[in-house]
Amino acid sequence: MVKLDFNLKVNMIEAFTDGACRNNPGPGGWGVLLCQDGKESKLCGGELDTTNNRMELLATIMALESLPPASQVCLTTDSKYVQQGITEWINNWIRRGWKTADKKTIKNVDLWKRLHAINQKHQVNWKWVKGHSGHRENEIADKLARQGLNSCLKKNNKIADNITKYEIKDDSNMRQVVLDTETTGIDPTDGHRIIEIGCVEIIERRITSKRYHKYIKPNHKVDEEAVKVHGLTNEFLSDKPQFFEIVDEFMDFIQGSELIIHNASFDVGFINHELKLLKQGWKPVKQYCKILDTLALARKHHPGQKNNLDALCKRYNIDNSNRKLHGALLDSEILAELYLIMTGGQVSLLGTSKSDGATNSIQRISKDRKPLTVIQPSEEELQSHVNYLKILNKASGNSNKFNIW
């Protein structure tokens, strides 16, 4: 897909939209052709269980949501349902509380509300053209809609294949992915969306160089309190891809791995919400990945204490001085080190105190280093050690977690 650098001062943006549906209801697709100053940009997508009218509506929504605020748009559709609905019928629907004259909720009310909201943000001239009449741009939009439908069906088959594949995958050498997200707000059920995803790969307890990082345009206002946390504004996100544009590459990166997430219910809840909104047949994340919550792990190790990332960094001497604001990739890199330290044994071999200013980091050591001198304990020292382990086991409820070897 070619991205247009829309210049509001040059020419009006022309948008041509179309929808398609097989069997109606059934699998469907939407297509968008955007034109400005001789340049063209194409968008398409689809859903597994939909109608032709919903795809016609969604095509116009996706067209307008992809544009900068306050754009001047000439939008052409071959759907009288959409063109008359947005220009003639909608005011009466709103006056009646989104109901028809006989007091029934209008069909596709969720999409009509969404279209009305984005329509208010632009100056739109709505036009109708007869479909399949040889109109070049409409024919392109129709082709894109059918392409979106077919891609959705292919993706659904791929999703089903992957579920089978990863459910029987051997876990002995499972690839791990440390993941974090930033969002427009706290609760996805209030319409909040993901605006940043950051992932770090771990293989055989080694952090690799592979990363996945994307900023995402949410089509939802970022809460002021959220901006104070991560610093990401709607203006900054306005030219970033939408979730439907990055979902394939994102899911390819995480599928089959064990996800390492701090407060996993938050991030997984948002990802599942985004996948559900696509209506492309995606299952919940747990169908594709194992999930380990490091917050639950930290609470188990340190009950009654603060266990957010900053507190854990301080406790384990991890350098997080660059963390002025939350960021998905930076937080994933920090969490990767924390996870390896929390699950890898001793933090400081020599019991370094905080006042030393020493910080933990994952370091590679040379295989040609001099061998360490091993000092064997005396019988008296060994017995003292055994006695102390008995005290620890008793204090932990006779859990027998502390053994001599």
**pLDDT tens digits for range 372-404:** 788 888 889 888 888 888 887 777 666 665 665
Query: At residue 261, what are phi and psi to the nearest 5 degrees?
Result: -135, 140
pLDDT at position 179: 97
Quote the CA–CA distance of 354 and 308 in Å, as a whole number.
19
206 and 82 belong to one structural domain? no
> Is 192 a residue of the active site?
no
Q: Residue 30: which H helix or E strand, with range?
A: strand 26-36
Stronger pLDDT, 4 or 305, i.e. the higher one: 305
176 and 257 belong to one structural domain? yes
Specify if 123 maps to a domain: yes
270 and 147 belong to one structural domain? no
Q: SS3 of 161, please? A: helix
Average pLDDT over residues 211-228: 95
**pLDDT mean across residues, the chain:** 86
Average pLDDT over residues 114-132: 96
pTM: 0.67
pLDDT at position 326: 85
pLDDT at position 399: 60
181 and 257 belong to one structural domain? yes
Average pLDDT over residues 323-343: 90
Residue 199 has pLDDT above 80, yes or no: yes
Quote the CA–CA distance of 217 and 211 in Å, as a whole number.
20
123 and 192 belong to one structural domain? no
From 151, 182, 201, give the residue that closes a domain: 151
Quote the CA–CA distance of 250 and 99 in Å, as a whole number.
39
pLDDT at position 165: 46
Specify if 147 maps to a domain: yes
CATH number where 146 lies? 3.30.420.10
193 and 86 belong to one structural domain? no
CB 318 within 8 A of CB 337: yes
Provide the residue range defining the domain that includes 81: 13-151
Least confident among 106-120, 240-254, 295-309: 295-309
121 and 203 belong to one structural domain? no
Instruction: Name the residue among 220, 232, 321 with its Cα closest to residue 270.
Output: 220
Specify if 230 maps to a domain: yes
Q: Residue 148 to residues 59, 171, 312: CA-CA distances in angstroms?
A: 11, 35, 45
Q: SS3 of 404, please? A: coil
Q: What's the half-sphere exposure (Cβ side, CA atoms, 13 Å) at 121?
A: 16
Average pLDDT over residues 219-244: 94
Burial string for 217-255 (b: 16+ CB within 10 Å, else e) reads bbbbebeeebeeebebebeebeebbbbbbbbeebbebbb
Average pLDDT over residues 88-100: 95
174 and 139 belong to one structural domain? no
pLDDT at position 355: 35
Residue 365 has pLDDT above 70, yes or no: no
CB 269 within 8 A of CB 291: no
Average pLDDT over residues 42-70: 94
Residue 194 has pLDDT above 90, yes or no: yes
Cα 181-182-184 angle, rounded to 5 deg: 140
Specify if 270 maps to a domain: yes
202 and 126 belong to one structural domain? no
pLDDT at position 321: 81
> Domain count of the chain?
2
Annotated catalytic residue, options 192, 213, 326, 385 = 326
Quote the CA–CA distance of 216 and 270 in Å, as a whole number.
13
147 and 186 belong to one structural domain? no
CB 152 within 8 A of CB 282: no
